Amino acid sequence: MNLILHVWRQNGPNDKGRLDQYEAKNVSPDSSFLEMLDEVNEDLIKKGQIPIEFDHDCREGICGTCSQVINGIPHGPDKLVTTCQLHMRKFKDGDHIYIEPWRSKAFPIIKDLVTDRNALDRIIQAYGYTSTHTGGVADGNAMLVPKVAADEAMDAAACIGCGACVAACPNASAMLFTSAKVSQLALLPQGKAEAAKRVKAMVEQMDSEGFGNCTNHYECQAACPKGISVSFISRMNREMMKALPQ
């Protein structure tokens, strides 16, 4: 099939940026979205032009690197996939496709579709861990973990840190991301000891990075390629309530 692409091009954080138009010809429906862009880039290089820069790495939906707003939706029209796992069979011959970077004040644009998402790393640095030392820990079975807690913790832990939740939110809120880590560690006995300090530190960092607050649009959950539930935001709020008097 043949497609018309409208791609955001921006030569760095201080450039104004613009949507440029490209043709993608003879695209196989079995190819992935990024493979389609690879072909467009190969053509651009052969013409001596500068290809479209985009972030990507594992191309199997787990590293969380790829990050494109496709036709207004982070990671595009398919449900529960990252951009790299979106396949061209989801599009029709002759379609116009608009491709933009993540849009959020906290994610400055580096070039074209590449953004700086280190604000998310700094939220984890704030307290997204248990303060465990290497070595000298108890046997893995010393503390039992109820299966429901382990399963729910895993649901939260499935977050890949791509930032689609932020890009989808009208407030550019990072509540889904932050709450997933808060919840994972609060659900497990190993994380409970520091739960109160953790939630306060992570929320404080989240606010200081310039992310907005949650006003219950649930766009984050709809865009999340791993299906992280907004119920974790409720859990984070409860954890915060518990933590406040301390």
Partner 1 sequence: MILDGKCPTGPIQDSWDKHRFDMKLVNPANKRKYKILVVGTGLAGGAAAASLGELGYNVEAFCYQDSARRAHSIAAQGGINAAKNYPNDGDSIYRLFYDTIKGGDFRAREADVWRLAQVSNNIIDQCVAQGVPFARDYAGYLDTRSFGGAQVSRTFYARGQTGQQLLLGAYQALMRQIKVGTVKLHARREMLDLVVVDGVAKGITVRNLVSGEIESHWGDAVILATGGYMNVFYLSTNAMGCSVTATWKAAKKGAFFANPCYTQIHPTCIPQTGDHQSKLTLMSESLRNDGRCWVPKKKEDCEKKAADIPEDDRDYYLERKYPSFGNLAPRDIASRAAKEQCDDERGVGPGKRGVYLDFQSSIDRVGENTIAERYGNLFQMYEKITDENAYKQPMRIYPAPHYAMGGLWIDYNCMSNLPGLFVLGEANFSVHGANRLGASALMQGLADGYFVIPNTIAHYLVGVAPGAVKADHPEFKKSVDEVQGQVDTLLSINGTKTVSEFHRELGKIMWENVGMARSEESLNFALKKIPELREEFWQNVKVTGSKAEVNSQIENAGRVADFLEFSALLTKDALTREESCGGHFRVEHQTADGEAMRDDENFTYVAAWEFKGNDKEPELHKEPLKFDNIKLAVRSYK
Residues of this chain, 172-201, that bind partner 1 according to CB under 8 A? 184-185, 188, 190-191
Torsion of CA 121, 80, 55, 60, to 10 degrees: 100
**Closer residue to partner 1 (CB): 13 or 72:** 13
CB of 215 vs partner 1, minimal distance in Å: 28
Please identify which residue in 85, 178, 179, 229 interacts with partner 1, judged by CB under 8 A.
Answer: 85
Please identify which residue in 1, 73, 110, 222 interacts with partner 1, judged by CB under 8 A.
Answer: 110
**Closer residue to partner 1 (CB): 71 or 130:** 130
Please identify which residue in 40, 69, 106, 114 interacts with partner 1, judged by CB under 8 A.
Answer: 114
Whole-angstrom distance, CA of residue 141 vs CA of residue 227: 29
CB of 133 vs partner 1, minimal distance in Å: 6
Whole-angstrom distance, CA of residue 161 vs CA of residue 225: 10
DSSP for 99-137, written as a single string:
EE----TTS-EEETTEE--HHHHHHHHHH-S--PPSS--
Q: Is 129 in the site for partner 1 (CB under 8 A)?
A: yes
Contact of 219 with 228, CB cutoff 8 Å: no
Please identify which residue in 9, 11, 17, 95 interacts with partner 1, judged by CB under 8 A.
Answer: 11
Q: Is 14 in the site for partner 1 (CB under 8 A)?
A: no
Please identify which residue in 24, 70, 97, 120 interacts with partner 1, judged by CB under 8 A.
Answer: 120
Residue whose token pair is 């579709």: 113
**Closer residue to partner 1 (CB): 113 or 230:** 113
Is residue 162 exposed (0-12), middle (13-18) or buried (19+ Cβ within 10 Å)?
A: buried
Whole-angstrom distance, CA of residue 19 vs CA of residue 38: 18
Q: Is 138 in the site for partner 1 (CB under 8 A)?
A: yes
Q: Taking CB under 8 A as the criterion, which residues in 31-60 touch partner 1?
A: 31-32, 34-36, 38-39, 42, 44-46, 48-51, 53, 55-60
Q: Is 139 in the site for partner 1 (CB under 8 A)?
A: yes
CB of 217 vs partner 1, minimal distance in Å: 25
Q: What is the DSSP letter of 59?
A: S
Q: Is the torsion defined by CA of 14, 19, 25, 29 positive or negative?
A: positive
Angle between helices 147-157 and 175-187 (to 10 degrees): 150
- CA angle (89 as vertex; 104, 102 as ends), nearest 5: 5
**Closer residue to partner 1 (CB): 16 or 46:** 46
